[in-house]
Structure 1
């Protein structure tokens, strides 16, 4: 069984992981784009449903201490543009997950060692780098989620963003989400329709820092 301690030891020379607030602040001083910001401050109208701050997730347990969404500064700015376009269509983004501490990725893999859908401890996740989001669309009038191919975190083929054997309504909503996100430099994950990575030439380090670090 993997443990965070053994993986940290194995990855000392393989992965660049920031474990201290001081190192993180130094990286931000060198490049202000590396700041993790509270997403709600940049996109106040965005909806949050942080699944890992509850037990209503694939692991049936609470993994986060707070229901908050932190993300790198350029990602927050790009999401603000996405949200503005969606609002003109009567829609909003709903965020399931954003920045995820590296130790949580390790914990997840210990519970569910799946190499197709899970973040891999030996490479780190883009969630750990603060440039990935899990999200969906909601109707502004009703507050309800639009119909999508699957629920969040469904480990099935229908979750793949190109899977075709779904209803026309789900396909239309999925394609709209992909189209608008792509317009503002987000790339959908090949395995999960809800997972989007931000394209950037900046090398964002993997972080293993609690949310309170950024308060």
Structure 2
């Protein structure tokens, strides 16, 4: 090969390389990255419909059965389909007249969060939050007993986890990772402090005492559960019998769709 031919090949290689670099520089990184999905226009931030409903979005914090913020929860914002949000507003109006308020723990839940729950449940060595959230249930039983599943109605956008708070609402202290945990079915004065009325267990308590109609729950605790259930049922919500806090608005706008856009204000911005 002549020195001329070798030099020509080198020049062509340099030209191709330079062109590739220029092409890459012309496309900004944000444009090359896969954009995050946004919520359909039928979804809204609950605060835009009713700013009086208290929000304590547990999965943006470490105070949940996983023990860390959950995938997909970017900001502590409740997102729901508009019909569900408007129905919650009507229920809130009823409670405000009684000196009470709704408080939501979780609303729309992206599929990536559900996937996080599934990975965690399969890791039998991670039991950092067992003493509070599932003290009597072996972690190996969470799938079989129905506490964890690969799909959640929350991902369809019309399911909400919530409770009732007496007004004026007391302040609640933040959870400190590593602090001593108390069983979620312990007496209210012993459980982690929550400004909810006494429902007999804490939120996300993996125990049969969480069943809405469990006969062992009596007196004021039972009355509080019936207040929540009756108030929401009057506005079209159906309770999951195994969880006193879990309600789905019917009919659902998206009964067969499991969304995966992140929980953030940007997901519903501009609607």
TM-score by length of 2: 0.65
Structure 1 residue 201: Cα displacement: 5.5
Structure 2 segments unaligned to the other structure (5+ residues): 1-34, 123-141, 171-194
Which residue is equivalent to 1:44? 51
Structure 1 residue 177: Cα displacement: 0.5
The structure whose residues are more often strand, as a share, is 1
Which residue is equivalent to 2:217? 166
Alpha carbons 1:106, 1:120 under 8 Å: kept: no
Q: Deviations over 1:107-139 (max 9, x none)?
A: 102212523444522xx2110000100000000
The counterpart of 1:157, out of the listed 198, 208, 224, is 208
**Pair 1:214–1:202, CA change in 2 (3 A):** closer
Alpha carbons 2:107, 2:160 under 8 Å: kept: yes
SS of corresponding position for 1:136:
strand
Structure 1 residue 103: Cα displacement: 1.1
Matched ranges for 1:113-132 at <5 A: 114-115=142-143, 116-121=145-150, 124-132=151-159
Query: Is 1:186–2:237 an aligned residue pair?
Result: yes
In 1, the alpha carbon distance for the partners of 2:253 and 2:81 equals 11
Tell me how large the CA RMSD over aligned residues is: 1.8
Alpha carbons 2:157, 2:254 under 8 Å: kept: no
In 2, the alpha carbon distance for the partners of 1:55 and 1:21 equals 25
In 2, the alpha carbon distance for the partners of 1:125 and 1:154 equals 17
Which residue is equivalent to 1:89? 98
Matched ranges for 1:32-71 at <5 A: 35-63=42-70, 64-71=73-80
SS of corresponding position for 2:155:
coil
The counterpart of 2:112, out of the listed 103, 107, 118, is 103
In 2, the alpha carbon distance for the partners of 1:97 and 1:52 equals 7
Structure 1 residue 106: Cα displacement: 1.2
Alpha carbons 1:82, 1:180 under 8 Å: kept: yes
Question: Bigger radius of gyration, 1 or 2?
Answer: 2
In 1, the alpha carbon distance for the partners of 2:165 and 2:246 equals 16
Count of aligned pairs between the two proteins: 186
Structure 1 residue 167: Cα displacement: 3.7
